[in-house]
Amino acid sequence: MDRLSPDSISLDGVVSTLSQPIKSRSGSSSQPLVHLQRWLSPGSYKRLVKGNKQSVPLDSFPKLVTVQTGNGYAESYARSLMMTGNGFPLWYPGGDLGKPIQYLQRGISIGDVGTLDRDGLFDFCFNIFLSPDNPIHSGLVPREFRPLEPRLDPSEVKTIPEYFTPGQVITSQGVDVALNPENSLKYTFSSLDPSLEGGILVLPNGASREDMTHTERIYEYAKRNAPYWYQDVNGYGGIVHANGSLFLVTGCDKASDWALASFPYYPGAKSCLNLQYNWQPDYMSPWIDHGTARTSYYAPPTSRPIPVEPDTRNQCIFVRGIRISLSAKSWRETMPASNSARLYYTFILPMQRVSPSRLCFSRSTRNRK
């Protein structure tokens, strides 16, 4: 195949922070929906305002790719906590257990390229700063892959070791948090709205944050290589991942322990949220009386043990980065069989019933060992 012209490629930075709140389904926010317009193409914005679900053209350059499915737990969790401005919330912080052990030991990192799937999982493909023979790649890199030079230098990364303090809680709007005065890692989450949709994240040991300070050279590198990346993730054949699916990580938040909950919107729901969290030793479930909420918590996988030091922060709770799209012309050149191929929409940011969120800070300073 002839080398594709790099000037036919467009890059779009993923929304990692929205400074203005967005009008919620219940109308609790005072800010109008127009604040979303700058993140959406004109057609997508009109469809959002009208409330219609329409497919995104395969070869288009979408500003946001929406999930065309029901109101699932991962979808509700991501939609609810996205507006905290921390990046994309991952329903599976530990990643895909089918990936190489070396990758699971370190977790999602700056330079990773992959997709965000509909289950709230980051599907890792390769890292632009690592050589093809690095064990993390397990030999699976694009045919034309050459790592970005020079390699990532520590001076290019801003790291905040304790960005989230031990015991910190992050919730969506409308969730009340009550802290037990006798136990700094025991909370009660409640709401007076039976139809409330939202998400909860608890960080018993806190979490760190790292971000690239400058991304200019990543943009240029992605421009040259994005067509080949799309060919690779789509198996050099039928389409699986649509245009706009690829995600290049430029920042992430990592924890050693976490617990999360999601409660989707149910029309006609009668019962209100009343969920309790109480940290337990030996990786036992901390959730009590979860009702209709779906809950999860960190426990070392038993099916595939991952050797790591105690309290290793390899669990990615939020990811930030660049979402990569090709122009329509470049996409047709790159994936000529797209018209008859199977289409899979990547889980970037569902836009139905968007609601603002907030950060809730606990008083806990306890660091569990």
Rounded percentage of the chain residues whose pLDDT exceeds 90: 46
Q: Quick check: is 134 in a domain?
A: yes
Model pLDDT for residues 357-367, shown as the tens digit of each residue: 333 333 333 34
139: left (phi over 0), alpha (psi -120 to 50) or beta: left
Distance CA 204, CA 84 (A): 19
Hey, which residues does 253 pair with through a beta bridge?
A: 209, 318
Q: Quick check: is 365 in a domain?
A: no
**Which domain covers residue 173, as residue numbers?**
6-360
Q: Is the pLDDT of residue 243 over 90?
A: no
Burial call 147-156: b when 16+ CB within 10 Å, e when fewer: bbeeebeeeb
Q: Is the pLDDT of residue 320 over 80?
A: yes
Rounded to an integer, what is the distance from CA 97 to the centroid of its chain?
17
Phi, psi of 317 (to 5 degrees): -95, -30
Distance CA 147, CA 32 (A): 43
Q: What is the mean pLDDT of the chain?
A: 76
Stretch among 61-75, 81-95, 202-216, 341-355 having the lowest mean pLDDT:
341-355
Number of domains in the chain: 1
Longest dimension (CA), the chain: 68
Q: Quick check: is 356 in a domain?
A: yes
Task: Check residue 11 and give its pLDDT.
Answer: 52
Hey, which residues does 276 pair with through a beta bridge?
A: 188, 288
Q: Quick check: is 299 in a domain?
A: yes
Q: Quick check: is 366 in a domain?
A: no
Give, in order, the Cα–Cα distances in Å from 223 to each of 229, 244, 245: 11, 13, 15
Query: Which two three-digit tokens encode residue 95?
Result: 């990643």
Q: Quick check: is 368 in a domain?
A: no
Torsion sign over Cα 77, 79, 80, 81: positive
* Start-to-end CA span in the chain (Å): 55
User: Which amino acid makes up residue 350?
Assistant: P
In 3D space, the residue among 323, 112, 322, 320 whose CA is nearest the CA of residue 211 turns out to be 320
Q: Is the pLDDT of residue 324 over 80?
A: yes
